[in-house]
């Protein structure tokens, strides 16, 4: 494993670094990236940004807002936390959280925190979440598929800001019989017998994940310039962050094992003329689904037939039949 240390507190640069090593600079081994940032909200690829953030709070407190290239829900992070990423080449066609989360669980248990995986992508301590995880895949420079798995680690994060900065779907609270966002999350430092400093925790985590074989990659000035360019193109562009919600005549919402899915449909004469899928789900090729439904009759049988021309599982843990039922309900 090769460790890449990214400087500074700008989340756009860190996300651009992950993309750079996935798409443009293949290394001979799995890449580990660990970084920290100023107060930031990171929105999932398929989410409607304005529905997920408390815009007034964000402006008042000067938070960064960026959209990552992977699905899932909005994540809050600040200087008290850490973000990690594994970048690995191969032909893994399906999302697999366990492969990348397990080493983090073992590392935390070795430090004295009884961490475990829960649900589709969360890490927990005593029933409370301290890490959300997400993945995306790109075509590597040498061909083949590269997986980017990244996640947050709440270590000594200001948890009061998690609730204040985000607009949380009430379903996520009521369905879990809990009172507030604050009750759903915890800091790792609260569960360690002798918690180290923030920086020392990061160092110990890197050593544990790399099995004490510290191979570090140093970015050249040319690489830093290219990463800055990627940050501007992919992570600082307001059009990418906020996008444009299409006018629609029908909006159906469903909640599945794989997450929340909203179908925004424009229907004319009983035919779907446009479709957009958004939510906190994970998807491999959502654009293919949207394209397959364009021009399809808005009837269950027709929609299901269109979806069945595509591979099953393009939306993680959401079956084609379930998606058809959502679109036509």
Q: Which of 235, 205, 181 is nearest to 104 (CA)?
A: 205
212: left (phi > 0), else alpha (psi -120 to 50), else beta?
A: left
Mean pLDDT is lowest, of 64-78, 85-99, 131-145, for 85-99
Same structural domain for residues 177 and 60?
yes
CA dihedral 270→282→63→83, nearest 10 degrees, is -170
d(CA 251, CA 70): 23
Residue 75 Cα to chain centre, angstroms: 8
According to the model, what pLDDT value does residue 255 have?
92
Of 68 and 242, the structure prediction assigns the larger pLDDT to: 68
Select the more confidently predicted residue: 199 or 244: 199
Question: Per mean pLDDT, which of 79-83, 264-268, 325-329 is the most reliable?
Answer: 79-83
What pLDDT, on the 0 to 100 scale, is given for residue 24? 94
- The number of beta carbons lying within 10 Å of the beta carbon of residue 277 is 23
Q: pLDDT of 24-37, one tens digit each?
A: 998 889 999 999 99
My answer on whether 178 and 270 are in the same domain is no
Is pLDDT at 244 greater than 70 in this prediction? no
Short-list 109, 209, 193, 94, CA closest to 151:
209
Look at residue 326 and tell me whether its pLDDT is greater than 90: yes
Work out the average pLDDT over 139-153. Answer: 88
pLDDT for residue 180? 45
**Claim to verify: residue 310 and residue 198 sit in the same structural domain:** no
Res 224 pLDDT > 90: yes
Shared domain check, 199 and 60? yes
Choosing from 198, 218, 242, the residue where a domain stops is 242
Q: Are residues 272 and 149 in the same domain?
A: no
Q: Which residues on adjacent β-strands are paired with residue 134?
A: 150
Number of domains composing the chain: 2
Quickly state the pLDDT bin for 213 (edges 50, 70, 90): confident
CATH of the domain at 6: 3.30.930.10
pLDDT value for 173: 44
Q: What does each C-alpha distance from 289 to 94, 95, 97, 146, 327 come to in angstroms? A: 16, 17, 23, 22, 12
Q: Distance (Å, rounded) from C-alpha 11 to C-alpha 153?
A: 15
Domain endpoint, select from 212, 242, 272:
242
* Boundary-marking domain end, from 221, 242, 263: 242
Decide if 317 contacts 257 (C-beta within 8 A).
yes
275 and 176 share one domain:
no
Q: Please, are residues 154 and 186 in contact by the beta-carbon 8 Å criterion?
A: yes
Q: Are residues 109 and 28 in the same domain?
A: yes
278: CATH: 3.30.390.50
Residue-range definition of the domain harbouring residue 277: 250-327
Q: What is the pLDDT of residue 17?
A: 97
160 or 192: which leads in pLDDT: 192
Residues 6+ apart with CB under 8 A from 269: none
2-27 pLDDT, tens digit per residue, is: 999 887 899 999 999 999 999 999 88
H or E segment and range at residue 98: helix 98-111
Selection from 162-171, 184-193, 266-275 with the highest mean pLDDT: 184-193
Verify that 233 and 261 share a domain, yes or no.
no
Q: CB neighbours (10 Å) of residue 294? A: 13
Residue 74: closest CA among 50, 110, 101: 50
207 has pLDDT over 80: yes
Same domain, 135 and 181: yes
Percent of the chain with pLDDT over 90: 66
Whether residues 92 and 169 share a domain: the answer is: yes
Q: What is the pLDDT of residue 273?
A: 92
Mean pLDDT of 62-68: 94
- Residue 75 contacts residue 132 (beta carbons within 8 Å): yes
pLDDT reported for residue 121: 84
CB 207 within 8 A of CB 214: yes
**Statement: residue 178 has pLDDT above 60:** no
Shared domain check, 264 and 129: no
**232 & 321 share domain:** no
């Amino acid at each position: 494993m090769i460790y890449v240390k990214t400087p500074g507190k700008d989340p756009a640069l860190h996300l651009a670094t992950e993309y750079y090593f996935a798409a443009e600079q293949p290394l001979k081994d799995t890449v580990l990236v660990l970084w920290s940032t100023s107060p930031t909200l990171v929105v999932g690829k398929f989410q409607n940004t304005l529905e997920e953030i408390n815009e007034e709070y964000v402006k008042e407190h000067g938070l960064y807002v960026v959209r990552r290239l992977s699905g899932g829900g909005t994540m809050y992070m600040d200087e008290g936390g850490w973000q990690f990423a594994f970048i690995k080449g191969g032909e893994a066609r399906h999302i697999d959280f366990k492969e990348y989360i397990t080493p983090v669980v073992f590392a935390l248990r070795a430090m004295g925190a009884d961490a475990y995986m829960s649900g589709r992508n969360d890490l927990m301590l005593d029933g409370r979440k301290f890490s959300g995880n997400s993945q995306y895949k790109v075509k590597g420079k040498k061909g083949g598929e590269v997986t980017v798995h990244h996640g947050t680690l709440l270590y000594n994060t200001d948890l009061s800001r998690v609730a204040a900065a985000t607009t949380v779907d009430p379903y996520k609270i009521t369905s879990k019989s809990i009172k507030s966002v604050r009750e759903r999350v915890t800091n790792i430092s609260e569960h360690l017998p002798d918690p180290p400093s923030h920086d020392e925790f990061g160092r110990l985590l890197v050593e544990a994940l790399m099995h004490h074989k510290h191979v570090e990659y140093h970015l050249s000035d040319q690489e830093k310039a290219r990463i800055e360019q990627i940050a501007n193109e992919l992570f600082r562009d307001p059009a990418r962050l906020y996008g444009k919600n299409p006018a629609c005549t029908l909006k159906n919402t469903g909640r599945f094992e794989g997450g929340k899915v909203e179908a925004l449909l424009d229907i004319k004469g009983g035919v779907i003329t446009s479709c957009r899928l958004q939510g906190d789900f994970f998807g491999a090729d959502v654009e293919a689904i949207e394209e397959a439904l364009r021009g399809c009759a808005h009837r269950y049988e027709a929609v299901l037939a269109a979806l069945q021309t595509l591979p099953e599982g393009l939306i993680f843990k959401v079956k084609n039949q379930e998606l058809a039922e959502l679109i036509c309900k």
